[in-house]
Structure 1
Amino acid sequence: MGAATEPTVPTAISAKQGLGAATNGAGGVTDVATVASGCFWGTEHIFREHYGSGRGLIDAKVGFIGGKESSKDPSYEEVCTGRTGHAEATQIKFDPTKVTYAELVEFFYRTHDPTQLNAQGNDRGTQYRSALFPHDADQLGAAQKVTQEVQDKYFGPKGRKIVTQIEQRPAGDFFVAAEYHQRYLEHNPFGYQCSNHKLWW
């Protein structure tokens, strides 16, 4: 199992430093983050590896989000055509007294290549796009700040630009994928995993 990583950009660092004072006595509180970074098998797996076992991640589900209104509850096969407009995504239920949304956003960036447009590794298509789906105004603000800080620290100096889509409205319907896709790499340790799903810093 991996270890939870330390944040490296200002917004994520200050959010972590404020955990004790901000959440003292807030037992039982949960929050949700929804992210897309290519094939959802690898995204779910790396978040579970680093934030599971009591380090903040309570549960995670893979599924589809961000599609056309006309495409409700799509199948995996339908999403793979690219015609429904959905992204393969992971919805994370987390304990905000142990890990902050800003930390999760930085971790999202450090575990894939956010400069690839509508692709991740060898997986091509809008269903594999890099995207964040904030659930409220606070998450939107944190996502925007962390994105800019990661851009300035890690990608700008290399002449590269983050192309991650950040939804400007609250996250829409999240359609949970079939049970076969849940914890896929845990059940199939030699199954396919996008080569980009690793710690980049």
Structure 2
Amino acid sequence: MANIETVTLAGGCFWCIESAFNSVNGVVSAYSGYANGHLDNPTYEQVCAGNTGHAEVVQVNFDPAQISFREVLEIFFALHNPTELNRQGNDVGTQYRSGIYYHNEQQKEIAQQLLTEISDEQIWPDPLVTELLAVSNYSQAEDYHQDYFSNNPENRYCNMVVAPKLAKFKKKFASRLKG
């Protein structure tokens, strides 16, 4: 069995992030969930109400022999705007914040180095607001959120927001996609 690593990432609505990572070579699985809040096992409705402190996240399990942690983060930064505080596009609230929730000290160091590089290179015109914290209080989202984009192609939000983001992502990272 491969040495699988896990990282938990927040980049706005989890449907897009999860769908993108599940198509990446070296990613074993990606699950929508909630993390870094104060309520145990919150529901989607509780998280969306904005008072649990949780972020919508995707827990990414990957094989570091096939994709490095840094590459996972590079994909993550291409999937959202890390300069928008507590929002992504029309999705507004602390649950849509940008965050890297690391699972070990090595991940913390690599993430901090990349955040510094991105800031120094001024890739975005505004400063990064991505928080870097240890993962805490993670719970997997309800079953109907898993593979949401694939299972709900007729959903208006998916057609208007997720599909264009994924098309752009797949073009940029074509060489990283699963067969």
How far is 1:154 from its partner? 4.7
The yes-or-no answer on 1:96 pairing with 2:70 is no
Q: Greater Rg, structure 1 or structure 2?
A: 1
Instruction: State whether residues 22 and 28 of structure 2, in contact with CA within 8 Å, keep that contact through their aligned partners in structure 1.
Output: no
Which residues in structure 2 correspond to 1:115-126 (within 5 Å)? 115-126=83-94
Question: Percentage identity across aligned positions?
Answer: 38
> Hey, what's the Cα distance between the residues in 2 that align with 1:166 and 1:28?
27
CA contact (8 A) 2:10 2:58 kept: yes
Partner of 2:5: 31
Q: Which residue of 2 aligns with 1:7?
A: none
Q: Which runs of 5+ in 1 are unaligned?
A: 1-26
Aligned equivalent of 2:80: 112
Q: Tell me how far apart the structure 1 counterparts of residues 12 and 122 of structure 2 sit (CA, whole Å).
A: 20
TM-score w.r.t. structure 1 length? 0.77
* CA drift at 1:155: 2.6
Q: Which of 55, 58, 62 pairs up with 2:28?
A: 58
SS at match of 1:92: strand
- Structure number with the higher strand fraction is 2
Structure 2 unaligned spans of 5+: 173-179
Tell me, in whole angstroms, the C-alpha distance in 2 between the residues paired with 1:40 and 1:120: 11
Superposition CA RMSD, Å: 1.8
> Following TM superposition, by how much is the alpha carbon of 1:152 offset from its aligned partner in structure 2, in angstroms?
2.7
The total of aligned residue pairs comes to 165
SS at 2:75 equivalent: helix
